[in-house]
Amino acid sequence: TVVPTVTMYQEPIMASRITKTSVKSYEKTFRSLVDEDATGLLYVGENSNVDYVMYLFNSTTGYLESCFVILPTTTSAKTLVNKFLEQRYIYEGYSEGYNIYSRGTVLVGVGQNDEFGLFALYLINTTTSNTASATCLHNMVQAGGKAKQAMK
């Protein structure tokens, strides 16, 4: 067992059948809510290692689908987030632009794009295939970009 020595941010709540109310209850201890719409919650980061945390919910069920931890786009942040996750998750490999980590049912992909900059995308893992997982991460990033635009 690895005892984490790297601290970066409070990890988002990730589990099946989590509602906006549950997320708000969890997050009120760590971060401040800055925006909300029907399918998303946006929090300001709790320290200089995190810019924002954005939770996205299914528009039909209302349950949590994913969470973006949006980080400063620096080389040091990229190194730190990967060390942070390596101490808490199993590194599954690099696929389609993402460093992929898993623990139980939680999948985390670290990536960077023009929309978000550097981010860690958390979601519930529904597959055992890294390729399928990377495709799922890619699709969630696209959905996140649309949600981010809607929340502006």
| Mean pLDDT over each residue of the chain, to the nearest integer | 86
* Residue 55 reports pLDDT greater than 90: yes
User: Which range (48-57, 89-98, 121-130) has the least confidence?
Assistant: 121-130
* Residue 9 reports pLDDT greater than 70: yes
What's the CA gap between 118 and 129, in Å, rounded? Answer: 24
pLDDT, tens digit, for every residue of 61-111? Answer: 999 989 999 999 999 999 999 999 999 999 988 887 889 998 888 989 999
Q: Is 27 helix (H, G, I), strand (E, B) or coil?
A: helix
* Residue 151 reports pLDDT greater than 50: no
* Residue 126 reports pLDDT greater than 50: yes
What's the CA gap between 11 and 45, in Å, rounded? Answer: 11
Residue 129's pLDDT band, with cuts at 50, 70 and 90, is low
What's the CA gap between 22 and 18, in Å, rounded? Answer: 6
Per-residue pLDDT at 30: 94
Residue 149's pLDDT band, with cuts at 50, 70 and 90, is low
User: Hunting for tokens 């696209």 — which residue is that?
Assistant: 142
pLDDT, tens digit, for every residue of 131-142? Answer: 555 566 665 566
Nearest 5°: phi and psi at 107?
A: -115, 135
